Amino acid sequence: MSTLVIVDDNLDFVINLYNQIVQLQIPKLQVTCINSNGKEAINTIIKLKPDIVLLDLFLQDISGIDVLDEFIKHKINTKIIVMSGYPDLIYKCHDKKYYNYIYKILAKPFNYKDLSTLLQTLSIENNSKFLRTAIINQLNLLNFSHKSIGYNYLIDTISLILERNYKSYNLEKDIYVQLSKQYKNVKAFQIKWNIEKLIRTMYRDTNIHTLHNFFNTDEDTKPTTKLIINTVIDKCINS
């Protein structure tokens, strides 16, 4: 879930903006807080560490530029979309010290379709990173060879299934075919072969008790690709 904080002191604008974001129905994006002044915003963002911040530059107590400077001071790692109707404040945002902090500048009044595209892009990026990390953390519980190309194929396979929320899937006719289109000169059968080779090696190198704990079973059966994928997905969703 990607989190979003809105910082703007114009109540009417904030209400309209919030309603627009809700209407967009961007998957896995949640507005966690709305701040009307800069000092509150700084404290909120340091505490909540949101993935995305919509920041107005003209605030009543301190300017949005001051807020940006505090972000730099505290090394806050978040994507910032700056909003302003004041060209002089927008100009200040082009200082090179803000390059790694400002994701996009929106001049008020802006098109909500542009905002929708930005939020969707950022939400997908953030959730993809989170999912990939969660998948790797689960796979690390077993003795998979990280140097094997099959390891990356397996991660990408699970990521694709999770991102597209597949309730049922066919690995060979669907998932591997889609993945082969993402890679250069790689066929679906090569993805399948490398993943299965990776799993055979993992089964050989992993302690039997570790396997039992991971798959929550006492049976000494060799794990299939689908069993591993479904187990990792279940653990990621419920972790």
Residue 79 pairs with which residues in a beta bridge?
52
Q: Does 135 reside within a domain? A: no
Any idea what the CATH number is for the domain that residue 29 is in? 3.40.50.2300
Q: Does 132 reside within a domain? A: no
pLDDT, tens only, 78-95: 889 999 998 998 999 999
Angstrom distance (rounded) from CA 191 to CA 163: 19
> What does the pLDDT read at residue 76?
83
> What does the pLDDT read at residue 236?
82
Number of Cβ within 10 Å of residue 131's Cβ equals: 19
Residues 183 and 234 in one domain: yes
Angstrom distance (rounded) from CA 57 to CA 68: 9
> What does the pLDDT read at residue 124?
72
Q: Does 46 reside within a domain? A: yes
Residue 166 pairs with which residues in a beta bridge?
none
Residues 49 and 165 in one domain: no
> What does the pLDDT read at residue 151?
96
DSSP 151-196: HHHHHHHHHHHHHTT-SS--IIIIIHHHHHHHSSS--HHHHHHHHH
> What does the pLDDT read at residue 27?
67
Residues 115 and 178 in one domain: no
pLDDT, tens only, 124-148: 777 777 788 889 999 999 999 999 9
Q: Does 77 reside within a domain? A: yes
CA end-to-end span of the chain: 13
Q: How far is CA 35 from the centre of its chain?
A: 24
pLDDT, tens only, 198-224: 999 999 999 999 999 999 887 777 899
Angstrom distance (rounded) from CA 196 to CA 152: 12
Q: Which of 159, 160, 103 is nearest to 133 (CA)?
A: 159
Tell me which residue range forms the domain holding 58: 2-126
Angstrom distance (rounded) from CA 227 to CA 154: 12
Any idea what the CATH number is for the domain that residue 148 is in? 1.10.10.10
Q: Helices in the chain by DSSP H: which ranges?
A: 11-24, 38-48, 64-73, 87-92, 112-139, 149-163, 176-182, 188-205, 208-215, 225-238
Backbone angles phi, psi at 174, to 5 degrees: -125, -70
Q: Does 134 reside within a domain? A: no
For each successive 10 residues of the chain (239 residues), what is the average pLDDT? 86 85 77 83 88 90 90 87 91 89 89 83 76 91 94 94 79 93 91 96 93 85 91 82
